[in-house]
Structure 1
Amino acid sequence: MSEPISAVVVAYHSGYGHTARQAAAVAEGVESVAGVTADLRDVSTLDTGLWTALESSDAIIFGSPTYMGSTSSVFQAFAEASAPVWAERGWQGKIAAGFTNSAGLNGNKDNALLSMTVLAAQHGMHWVSLGLLPGWIYSSTGSPDDLNRLGGFVGAMAQSPTDLGADLAPGEADLATARYLGQRVARTAVQFVHGREAAAALAAA
């Protein structure tokens, strides 16, 4: 079996399992691209394994539920714990992206995603947007089963009603959107790795 071209870490926190379900879909999208591996990492455990995986990755996809219009306190603790990595520019030049889930259709999910973009920018990373037009609200002929039904641009959004467990929510449209993000990041990472190798070959010539 050939070595993987790229490694993508999905670094997420999930309070009740719904965002973990979304994270798993992101990972499925990543691994749908040949030669790319996905590594799911729960950032509630800040151990050596987490930091080693993040250091060796080509891309990091951040994920958090949106609580009170922002990322969860657990995710924020992870972000603050990355300060030593920031000081050493350990994630400089890596690919980054993000996803979030909340009970409300809106819930200020954009604010949580923008918090992730700032984290990535401070680390000197390259942010990959969702890259999809808005879903069913964009057209009268659309459907709530469309990709990007919540109309996000910065990252993948999902909604999980409070009375549904993680075995039922988020729904398939939001999971498909999460898979799309994972696939988009994986393809970008492959392009990035090949470009880096080509640049190194030119520099050595």
Structure 2
Amino acid sequence: MSNIAIVYYSQGGATAMIAHSVAQGVNDAGAHAQLLSIEPHQFIDGQWHDDALLMRLAAADAIIFGAPAFQGGIAAPFKAFADATTGRWRTHDWRNKVAGGFSFSYRSEDDKRDTLDFFAALAAQHGMPWADADEADIAPRASGTQRGQRGIQRHPGHFPAVTAPGADVDAAYALDPADVIAGKQYGRHVAALVARLAGEVLESPAVLARRAREAAERRL
């Protein structure tokens, strides 16, 4: 069973909700998701420190990054975490692990795109192949879907889709339910990619439960 880590920073709750939906998608696909949150207590004199979390990331088969987009770029706490991974770059701990990412923005998709580009660049620095969103999952809800006063239209690749304007950055109440669905789809997509690269065949918990029930019935 693949072990997929989701390391994220959330200020107001929306990014955390997406992280949990991604984890659910990973688990639904038959892999194991572990949620790792970047927290204030991990900062000492302005620098991020958590060796135990870094060890868990080193043991994972894939790492998915998550953070809200602030003022057109990556949130500072996540940037501090990324800076602290330099030692892992020297020892190639993350090399060849599948990487992915998601972001939240209540402004334009350009803010979020810069954050996703940061994740992709971080992955490239560590020698990690990038798992983009599966357009087959996103495209069906992109056709003509608009939301909010600005009439924002969804397009394949805008994952998660841009949310409506709100008073607070990363506010949970501003999260579109469609973004939660997209998170589950993305989690399943990353889990399936990791399985294919490892030569595994993933099955959902429902299928595994059915097979166990059938096996038990045969023994009766």
TM-score normalised per structure 2: 0.75
Change (3 A) 1:128 1:86: same
Q: Report the residue type matching 1:172 in the other structure.
A: P
Q: Report the residue type matching 1:29 in the other structure.
A: G
Deviation for aligned residue 1:155: 4.9
CA–CA distance in structure 2, aligned partners of residues 132 and 162 of structure 1 = 27
Residue of 110, 124, 132 corresponding to 1:121:
124
CA–CA distance in structure 2, aligned partners of residues 158 and 39 of structure 1 = 26
- Report SS of the residue matched to 2:154: coil
Deviation for aligned residue 1:47: 1.7
1:110 maps onto 2:113 in alignment: yes
Deviation for aligned residue 1:104: 1.4
* CA shift digits 1:95-152 (9 cap, x unpaired): 000000011142521111001100000000010010216658954xx3348xxx6325
Deviation for aligned residue 1:171: 1.7
8 A Cα contact 2:101 2:119, kept in partner: yes
Q: Report the residue type matching 2:6 in the other structure.
A: V
The corresponding residue for 1:174 is 179
Bigger shift: 124-133 or 154-163?
154-163
RMSD: 2.4
Deviation for aligned residue 1:166: 4.8
1:159 maps onto 2:155 in alignment: no
Change (3 A) 1:137 1:6: closer
Please, which runs of 5 or more residues in structure 1 have no aligned partner?
196-205
1:59 maps onto 2:55 in alignment: no
Please, which runs of 5 or more residues in structure 2 have no aligned partner?
43-48, 148-152, 201-220
Change (3 A) 1:182 1:138: closer
Q: Which runs of 4+ in 1 moved over 4 A?
A: 133-138, 163-167
Report sequence identity in percent.
30
Q: Report the residue type matching 1:170 in the other structure.
A: L
CA–CA distance in structure 1, aligned partners of residues 122 and 37 of structure 2 = 17
Aligned residues: 185
Change (3 A) 1:107 1:97: same
TM-score normalised per structure 1: 0.81
8 A Cα contact 2:106 2:174, kept in partner: no
More helix by share: 2
